[in-house]
A and B are shown apart, each in its own frame.
Chain A
Amino acid sequence: KQEVTQIPAALSVPEGENLVLNCSFTDSAIYNLQWFRQDPGKGLTSLLLIQSSQREQTSGRLNASLDKSSGRSTLYIAASQPGDSATYLCAVPPSGTYKYIFGTGTRLKVLA
């Protein structure tokens, strides 16, 4: 049974810092891994999608890596800004299934 864990659960950093969010999954048989952002009271916004055959994806100040064999993904945020404050979620669709398993989330606060 696939389980997804995110560490840390919460993070508070001063503006301008580079930071790394971690996502671990127990079963490497996945289609892909997707990182989302959720602002309070809002829906989920897709940030990055890494296919199972890829090792990383970049979008602006965000870089996500995937190591399927070790069951890990990291989301790197460069030069953090107060507007980056949100909850970050990773999700994996296990191969052969029609669902996404979500991690527990990392609540990020970037202080001005």
Chain B
Amino acid sequence: DTAVSQTPKYLVTQMGNDKSIKCEQNLGHDTMYWYKQDSKKFLKIMFSYNNKELIINETVPNRFSPKSPDKAHLNLHINSLELGDSAVYFCASSQVRGNLNTEAFFGQGTRLTVV
């Protein structure tokens, strides 16, 4: 049973389109994240949510809008897609308890290609 699942796995779309990526975790974690992996394979935080509340928005363009309908889901909607948005997007989750942050689990990634 997959702990963190993302859909779709691949997404090819034209510039200017709007698209969404969905993420679900079945680990009971209270914190979820979106990361972007660029062409050089570097992973950078985009957003983090704790108990459905936005905690971190790491200078991401407002064309990117995350939505957390409940603690188990964190979706990413992207408006007016640009060529530079092409990357692999990873969803992750962990449990933050006081001074402890538990093991983080990552989804398999969504490879977004904007043409």
Smallest CB separation, B64 vs chain A (Å): 16
Q: Which of B42, B50, B100, B108 contacts A104 (CB 8 A)?
A: B42
Name the A residues within 8 Å of B104 (CB-CB).
34, 46, 91, 93, 100
Q: Is the interface of B mostly helix, strand, loop or mixed?
A: strand
Name the A residues within 8 Å of B48 (CB-CB).
98-99
Name the B residues within 8 Å of A99 (CB-CB).
33, 45, 48, 56, 58
Report whether B109 and A32 are in contact in the complex, using a CB–CB cutoff of 8 Å.
no
Name the B residues within 8 Å of A42 (CB-CB).
108-109
B62 at interface, CB cutoff 8 A: no
Interface 0/1 of A72-102, CB less than 8 Å to B? 0000000000000001010101010111111
Report whether A102 and B99 are in contact in the complex, using a CB–CB cutoff of 8 Å.
no
Report whether A46 and B105 are in contact in the complex, using a CB–CB cutoff of 8 Å.
yes
Report whether B107 and A43 are in contact in the complex, using a CB–CB cutoff of 8 Å.
yes
Report whether A31 and B101 are in contact in the complex, using a CB–CB cutoff of 8 Å.
yes
* A105 to B38 alpha-carbon distance, docked (Å): 13
Name the A residues within 8 Å of B90 (CB-CB).
43-44
Interface 0/1 of B73-107, CB less than 8 Å to A? 00000000000000000101010100111111111
Report whether B109 and A98 are in contact in the complex, using a CB–CB cutoff of 8 Å.
no
Interface 0/1 of B2-39, CB less than 8 Å to A? 00000000000000000000000000000101000000
A21 at interface, CB cutoff 8 A: no
Report whether A44 and B31 are in contact in the complex, using a CB–CB cutoff of 8 Å.
no
Residue among A44, A97, A101, A104 facing the most chain B CB atoms (10 A cut-off): A44
Smallest CB separation, A58 vs chain B (Å): 15
* A71 to B32 alpha-carbon distance, docked (Å): 26
> A102's closest neighbor in chain B, by CB?
B43
Known contacts A42-B109, A51-B100; can you find 19 more A-B pairs with CB under 8 A? A31-B100, A34-B104, A38-B41, A41-B111, A42-B108, A43-B106, A43-B108, A44-B92, A46-B105, A91-B104, A93-B101, A93-B104, A98-B31, A98-B50, A98-B56, A98-B96, A99-B33, A99-B45, A99-B48
